[in-house]
Structure 1
Amino acid sequence: MDSRRLTAAEKGKGPLQPDHQQPRKRIRAPEIDTSALIMENNLTLIGRISNPREQPIGALISSLPRKWSLKGTVVGSDLGQNCFQFRFELEEDLLNVLANRPYHYAHWMLMIQRWEPTLSPLFPSQIPFWIRLHGLPLHYWHEKMIYNIGQDLGILEDYHISKTSARMRVSIDGFKPIIKDAIIEFGSGEELPVTLAYDGLENHCSHCNHLDHEVRRCPLLISAKTDDILASPSKGPEHQHHQRSSPSVRGVRNNYENPPARQQLPPTQSSDFSSRVDRHGRPFGERAPVVPPRGQPLRNKVTPHFPHTAGTNVDHISYQSRHDRNHGTMEQHPGGQQQARGNPIRHDSRPQWRVRRVESPPPPTKVVLPPPPLQTSEHPPPPPGTKSCGM
């Protein structure tokens, strides 16, 4: 039984490829005067997107005028076939928009030109770029040299030569691949490679330099891979099916179905540490001794405890840790040992806080003196205000 996977062409799938071209209806155009419509559409820009997959025209029409500093109004619409238009109120706004080209949307280039009364289906197609020359010797930064290079690349619109750079503004065809490298031939037979750097260039294919797709969708690479698959039998559908399974996934699947056996160490190697070696064959050596931890373990924060017992001086406060309070109330015994209720006597060599009991002195005794005796006399005391006469 053949387990080979059938291709899309063998299954009859894929887009329909008719053997003959579908017939088209031909319509005769009447002879009309278009001069009035030409004047009406004089302030109109026509644009074309380069990558329909990444550039929705509806969102482009609403967001592109926000990048322009316009004084008047502008109205945009979708013309179909990847084209759109903008009708301006002022010619000044239209000229400013054309001077600031090139434009891009969603990081893909746009072809924008002023409307022309043409019947070409490829209109618009021009994109003006400022191109800088890298690798051209300084003594060849001449107007004739820049002019010849610009004419070979496209339509030369302007150029600028200074002491630090040489660049030119060239309008190139957006349907053709851009030229990044060139070779300049001199009359002496010498050749000089130069590099062209495009200002404002966004996404494009790095393989064929086209502006309408990225490198992973390049038709040249796709066709080359298809030819290699069809030419090599080892890279047929069976090989593709084998490549779909990731090596990491296959390894996990094999380990799950057939788990590897654990490596058993020899008795001598597992018992004697000094005889063990690492993966480089070097011995581990003697085992490091285990150092006991130093210091005492941390205890909870000490909080004061105020005893309310008779005969205890309040100036001497007894402090008791939270650990001691949780494990029982400490009691003072005559022998100087502390014992918790319900717990055995703990002998701790660390200094501990103890309650200093100071007996208060007995209150002073009041001496009650007997009252003085009353004096008795035969004669009554003289009345107040009288003097007594001596006998």
Structure 2
Amino acid sequence: MPRIWRLYSRVRGVALSQEKFQFIFKSEDDLNEVLKTGVWTQDDWCVVMDKWVEKPPDDYLMFLPIWIRLRNIPVNYYTEATIRDIAKCVGKVLTVELELEKSQSQDYVMVRVLLDVRNPLRNSKEVQLPDGDLVSISFDYERVRKRCFLCQRLTHEKNMCPFNQVDFGNVSTEVI
């Protein structure tokens, strides 16, 4: 990771287990810059990082600040309140990048959320408009490469999915 961060001699890593590492930074500024980026990857898997705490809570390293793109929002509903309401189904909304005074040059709105990595990623959300029409708002996750294609979680691959139960007696597969 220090090579990816371009902090060659300013940080060192210690393996705590096969899945957990501790990085010791020489500078608080370097640490904050790495954390500000949000999602880092190793072998295309997301890496959850946070500042070290002596007595971590039970949900320590279970949340990932991540940017998502919300697409297909009807133009009449481009309000921060509406966008926050839609994005909260993905995670706690941290930031909405929306400047209504400027022309919208993209077909999406950027939202930064705090994603609980124990939950599956959502690809879309159906929203009912006041006139009764349904619209599907799609979500694109920035810098997320790998995920389980069965349960949509970031924690494992399809062949290791704990939510996939195969009954070899009649060769059926059940996805929960």
Using the size of structure 1 for normalisation, the TM-score is 0.39
Give the aligned partner of residue 211 of structure 1. 154
Q: Which residue of 2 aligns with 1:195?
A: 138
| Structure 2 residue identity aligned to 1:197 | D
Tell me the SS of whatever aligns to 1:80: coil
Q: How far 1:66 moved relative to its partner?
A: 0.6
Task: Please list the CA deviations of residues 211-270 of structure 1 after superposition, one character each: whole Å capped at 9, or x if unmatched.
Answer: 12222333344x1x31xx42x4xx6xxxxxxxxxxxxxxxxxxxxxxxxxxxxxxxxxxx
Distance in 2 between residues matched to 1:129 and 1:105, nearest whole Å: 16
Q: In the alignment, residue 173 of structure 1 is paired with which amino acid?
A: D
Q: Tell me how far apart the structure 1 counterparts of residues 90 and 44 of structure 2 sit (CA, whole Å).
A: 23
Q: Which of the numbers 77, 82, 86 marks the counterpart of 2:14?
A: 77
Pairing partner for 2:120 from 156, 174, 177 = 177
* One-letter code aligned to 2:74: P
Contact (CA 8 Å) 2:13, 2:21: kept in 1 or not? yes
Structure 1 residue 117: deviation in Å?
A: 4.6
The answer as to whether partners of 2:39 and 2:47 remain within 8 angstroms in 1 is yes
Paired residues for 1:267-346 under 5 Å: none
Q: Which runs of 5+ in 1 are unaligned?
A: 1-63, 236-391
Contact in 2 for aligned 1:72/1:93 (Cα 8 Å):
no
More strand by share: 2
Paired position in structure 2 for 1:68? 5
Q: Which amino acid aligns with 2:42?
A: Y
Q: Hey, what does 2:174 align to over in structure 1?
A: none
The CA distance in 2 between the partners of 1:131 and 1:87, in whole Å, is 29
Higher radius of gyration, 1 or 2: 1
Aligned amino acid, residue 70 of structure 1? L
Q: 1:110 is matched with which residue?
A: 47
More relative contact order in 1 or in 2 (CA 8 Å, sep 6+)? 2
- Aligned-residue Cα RMSD (Å) equals 2.3
Distance of 1:151 and 1:181 partners within structure 2 = 12
Please say if residues 133 and 197 of structure 1, whose CA atoms lie closer than 8 Å, have aligned partners that are also in contact: yes
Instruction: Give the 3-state SS of the residue equivalent to 1:97 in structure 2.
Output: helix
Partners in 2 of 1:170 and 1:209 — Cα distance?
17
User: One-letter code of the match for 1:126?
Assistant: F
Cα distance in 2 between the residues matched to 1:134 and 1:123: 31
- Residue 187 of structure 1: CA displacement? 4.3
**1:72·1:90 contact (CA, 8 Å) conserved in 2?**
no
CA–CA distance in structure 2, aligned partners of residues 108 and 128 of structure 1 = 15
Identical counterparts, % of pairs = 26
Residue number among 115, 118, 127 corresponding to 2:64 in the alignment: 127
Count of residues in correspondence between the two structures: 165
- Quote the residue 1:95 is aligned against: 32
- What is the alpha-carbon distance in structure 2 between the residues aligned to residue 218 and residue 145 of structure 1? 34
Which TM-score applies when normalising by structure 2?
0.81
Q: Which has the higher helix share?
A: 1
